[in-house]
C-alpha cells in the first residue's frame, strides 16, 4: 500500500468507502441491497466478492470448489448489518479471515497478501469535436467515460487491486496535450503520483467513421461499433496486467514460520489496540502472542503463513507501519507505529 504524493489524486477503490491502501477492512464487504427480502442474495454476492478479492481471481471456479467441498457460505460470515451510505442501502458483511485462509489452504487455492499493487490509468480522449481531455473522476464528458470508470471500480472491488485515475490540473493537461512529443509523459506523472504500473491509452477520432487507439492498446475501429469492441479490448488488456501483478503477491500457505516483531511509538492503550488490529489483519498472520512490553514498545511473537520475505513485504506496505530494521537470519522485524 503506497501513499500518494499529490492529494489531488482521486481513487477508484473498493465499494467499501472506508478502505485505504492499508486494507484495514479487507475482510469486510459492502454489498448493495434494495430491500430486506434480498438479504440472502446480497450475502451470496458478498461471499463471491470476498473469494475474488482474497484469491485475486475473478473466476467462479474457486467459489464452487469451496462450496462443493462442503463449506456453506454462511459458515464464513462472522456478522452482517445494513448500512446507509449516501442515501443508499448496503449490507456490510464481516468475514472470518482465519477460516477463509484455512479452507483456501486445504483446497490449494492461492491466497494473496494485503499488499496490493497500484495501476494508474492515463487515458486521453479526442472526439474531434471538442478539446482533447484526460479521463478524471470529477467529470463525465461522454458515455465512454462512464463505462470506463464503472469497469475500473467494479474490477477493483472484485480483484482487490487499486485501479486509479489521476485528477490532473490545468497545467498538467496543457503540458501533456501540447508537448507530448517533446516530453516524457511518464516523468510528469511520476513527479506527482506513486504507482506500480502505468497504463496509457489515447483514443482519437481520425476520420468521419474511424477511431484510432494508441498507447498500450492499439486498434483502429469504425465509429458505429467503436465503444463495445474497445471496452472489450480494454478489459482484456487490464485483466492481463492485473493477473501478472497479483501473481507476485501470492502467499505460500503450505509454508509456516515464526517471527519476532517489535512495535514502537505506542503511547496509549488506544495505540496498542489500533496497532495490534493492523497486525491481526495481515493475511499472512496465523497467530499472535505478546512477548513483553517496554515503555512505548510492544514485542510480539507471530506465527505466519509463507516466509519472512512475504510477511515483511506485507508489513512494509501498511500505511500504519514503518519498518526501522529487519534481520532475516534472526526472523526479526522492528517497526514504528505511524498514527
Give pLDDT, residue 170. Answer: 63
The number of angstroms, rounded, from the C-alpha of 334 to the middle of its chain's C-alpha atoms is: 26
Which residue's entry shows cell 506500480? 196
Which residue's entry shows cell 504500473? 197
Helix 143-159 × helix 227-246 angle, to 10°:
30
By the 8 A CB rule, do 285 and 304 touch? yes
The number of angstroms, rounded, from the C-alpha of 246 to the middle of its chain's C-alpha atoms is: 10
Fold of 252-337: Alpha-Beta Plaits (3.30.70)
Which three three-digit cell numbers place residue 246?
A: 497479483
H helix or E strand, kind and range, residue 285: strand 285-294
Tell me how many degrees the CA angle 238-243-246 measures, rounded to the nearest 5.
120
By the 8 A CB rule, do 107 and 64 touch? no
Give pLDDT, residue 19. Answer: 35
- Transcribe 182-250 into DSSP letters: TS-HHHHHHHH---SEEEEEEEEEEETTEEEEEETS-EEEEGGG-HHHHHHHHHHHHHHHHHHHHGGGE
Mean pLDDT per segment of 10 residues, for the chain of length 339 residues? 34 35 72 89 94 88 95 95 88 94 92 88 88 86 92 87 82 62 68 87 88 94 85 96 88 92 97 94 94 96 95 90 96 95
* Extents of the domains making up the chain: 28-109, 118-247, 252-337
Q: How far apart are CA 92 and CA 70, in angstroms?
A: 25
Per DSSP, the three-state class of 135 is: coil
Q: For 107-184, where are the alpha helices, taking DSSP H only?
A: 143-159, 170-178
Give pLDDT, residue 177. Answer: 62
Q: How far apart are CA 88 and CA 338, in angstroms?
A: 33
By the 8 A CB rule, do 278 and 321 touch? yes
Closest CA to 102 of 54, 59, 56, 68: 54
Q: How far apart are CA 273 and CA 303, in angstroms?
A: 19
Beta-carbon contacts of 97 under 8 Å, excluding residues fewer than 6 positions away, are 26, 27, 281, 283
Burial of 79 per CB tally in 10 Å (0-12, 13-18, 19+): exposed
Give pLDDT, residue 317. Answer: 85
Give pLDDT, residue 173. Answer: 63
pTM of the model as a whole: 0.78
Distances (CA, A) of 288 to 47, 204, 291, 333: 26, 55, 9, 14
Which three three-digit cell numbers place residue 71?
A: 463449506
β-bridge partners, 287 = 303
Q: How far apart are CA 321 and CA 195, in angstroms?
A: 19
Give pLDDT, residue 181. Answer: 54
Amino acid at each position: 500500500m503506497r501513499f500518494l504524493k499529490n492529494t489531488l489524486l482521486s481513487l477508484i477503490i473498493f465499494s467499501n468507502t472506508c478502505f485505504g491502501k492499508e486494507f484495514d477492512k479487507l475482510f469486510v464487504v459492502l454489498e448493495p441491497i434494495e430491500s430486506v427480502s434480498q438479504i440472502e442474495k446480497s450475502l451470496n454476492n458478498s461471499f463471491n466478492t470476498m473469494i475474488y478479492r482474497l484469491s485475486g481471481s475473478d473466476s467462479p471456479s474457486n467459489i464452487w470448489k469451496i462450496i462443493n467441498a462442503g463449506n456453506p457460505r454462511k459458515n464464513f460470515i462472522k456478522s452482517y448489518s445494513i448500512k446507509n451510505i449516501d442515501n443508499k442501502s448496503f449490507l456490510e458483511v464481516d468475514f472470518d479471515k482465519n477460516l477463509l485462509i484455512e479452507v483456501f489452504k486445504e483446497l490449494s487455492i492461492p491466497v494473496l497478501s494485503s499488499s496490493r499493487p497500484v495501476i494508474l490509468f492515463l487515458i486521453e480522449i479526442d472526439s474531434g469535436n471538442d478539446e482533447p481531455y484526460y479521463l478524471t473522476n470529477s467529470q463525465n464528458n461522454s458515455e465512454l467515460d462512464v463505462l470506463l470508470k464503472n469497469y475500473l471500480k467494479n474490477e477493483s472491488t472484485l480483484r482487490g487491486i487499486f485501479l486509479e485515475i489521476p485528477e490532473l490540473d490545468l497545467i498538467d493537461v496543457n503540458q501533456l496535450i501540447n508537448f507530448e512529443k517533446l516530453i516524457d509523459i511518464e516523468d510528469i506523472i511520476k513527479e506527482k503520483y506513486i504507482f506500480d504500473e502505468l497504463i496509457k491509452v489515447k483514443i482519437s477520432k481520425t476520420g468521419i467513421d474511424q477511431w484510432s487507439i494508441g498507447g498500450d492498446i492499439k486498434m483502429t475501429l469504425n465509429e458505429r461499433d467503436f465503444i463495445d469492441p474497445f471496452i472489450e479490448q480494454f478489459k482484456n488488456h487490464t485483466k492481463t496486467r492485473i493477473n501478472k501483478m497479483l501473481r507476485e503477491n501470492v502467499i505460500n500457505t503450505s509454508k509456516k514460520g515464526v517471527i519476532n516483531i517489535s512495535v514502537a511509538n505506542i503511547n496509549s492503550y488506544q495505540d496498542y489496540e489500533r496497532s495490534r488490529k493492523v497486525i491481526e489483519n495481515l493475511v499472512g498472520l496465523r497467530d499472535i502472542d505478546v512477548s513483553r512490553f517496554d515503555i512505548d514498545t510492544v514485542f510480539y511473537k507471530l506465527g505466519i503463513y509463507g516466509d519472512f520475505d512475504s510477511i515483511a513485504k506485507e508489513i512494509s506496505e501498511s500505511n500504519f507501519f514503518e519498518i526501522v530494521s529487519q534481520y532475516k537470519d534472526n526472523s526479526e522485524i522492528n517497526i514504528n507505529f505511524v498514527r
